[in-house]
Structure formats: structure tokens, C-alpha cells
Amino acid sequence: MYGQFFRNAFTPRQQGIVRSATFAIIGLGGTGGFILENLLRMGAERFIIFDHDRFELTNFNRQLLATIASIDEPKADAALARAKDINPSVKMDMRGEFNAHSSFAGMDLLLDGSDNLKTKLAAAKLAEGKKIPYVLCSASGTRGIVSVFRNYSFRKAFQVSGEGKGRQSSRILCPAAALAGTLAASQAVNCLIGKPFVRAPDALFFDIFSKRLFWRARLG
């Protein structure tokens, strides 16, 4: 059941890499839902999911999986149903809420769709310890940032001390979340198949309300 992806712009070898890789995603909300959707459409089949939340009406402005039917449903359950509708061969390992003690066993890379700095710090540290790529994905308001961390310190990049505080603004437009999640998924796949990707300390920024829609900058 893989013919539905034959029009992907991959060689057979590249498609096989995407199909066999295990993608871990933290959060299935604004950015995380679009990360998952893009990976599914690119033919990914193996996922590890960190999410313990349920859908509510306040999610509807930006979260792909939020529907009237999914209100009060665990996001992980909605994600699995969506994935199976696209590709019945998908396998999802649901690991609940992410924390600093979460298991990273079995994953090839980590895509972070969380909305707070403390989680991002912990995720980046664990990925660095496991020597797997950490894909930063963040969106707030009309803006977003994406970068892939390999052998570069997240703390150094953002000059963070301590555990980190702060949460992304809850006011966000769907196109910002969608664009950040889409870019994160594309950069993760590029990293896997050997195509160019935005590598920390470089990062890709965007603002959908700006005349300068995209720009690259070097982090700390």
C-alpha cells in the first residue's frame, strides 16, 4: 500500500529512507499537526508521539486535527485515525507527555512542536545526548523559526541559562503554524536523505505580515 506516494519527488532510495525512518514528534497542536501531516504525505510510516492533551474549541484557529468531532478527544487518538486514513501501514508509538526523563529509544530524529522553552531545552539536550538531529519548530503570532541542530548547543544558540521560562503566545494565525510545521518536516527529511537543510547556528525565519517574508540569520 505505497502506490499513493509514487508522485513524490524522491528517488526510490530516498523514498525508502523516509519510509523506514522513525520520526519523533513532540506536540500535536499548531505546528505539530502540520509536521505530522507533511511527513505522512511524504510517505513516512513510523512515528513516536509525545502528547497527552485533548482538543478544545480554542485550538480551532490553528490546529489541523481540531474538528467538532474531535472535541475532548485525545490528540494522539485523532492523530492515529488521521494517519491511518492516509496510510494504513502507519505505526505510532504513543509515549504520553514529554519530560526530561522521556525515553528516546528507537527514534532517528526529533521534531519539536512544543510551545514552551523548558520543553525545547530538555528535548534539545536529550537529542544531543543521543546524537540524533533535533528539529526546532516554533510559531507565534504571524512569525516562525525553523532550524536543525546537529552538534550545536541549543543553549548557546539562544543564550539561555537555567531551565528556561516562557510560553509562545496563544494568539497565532493558522498560516504561521502551518508554514512552520511544513518547513520543519521538509528540513527533517532533507537532513535524512542528504539534501541541503538549515543547520544551526543558522535558522530560517518568516513573518507572513512582512514584505520580507523569509530570511536567514545566525543564532548566538
pLDDT in tens, 18-60: 999 999 999 999 999 999 999 999 999 999 999 999 999 999 9
Q: Is residue 164's pLDDT more than 70?
A: no
Q: Which three cell numbers stand for residue 34?
A: 502540520
**Local confidence band at 182 (pLDDT 50, 70, 90 cut-offs):** very high
Q: How far apart are CA 220 and CA 147, in angstroms?
A: 13
pLDDT digits (tens, 9 = 90+) for 141-157: 999 999 999 999 999 99
- The residues, ordered by sequence, that sit 6+ positions from 13 with a Cβ below 8 Å of its Cβ are none
**7-218: CATH topology:** Rossmann fold (3.40.50)
pTM: 0.95
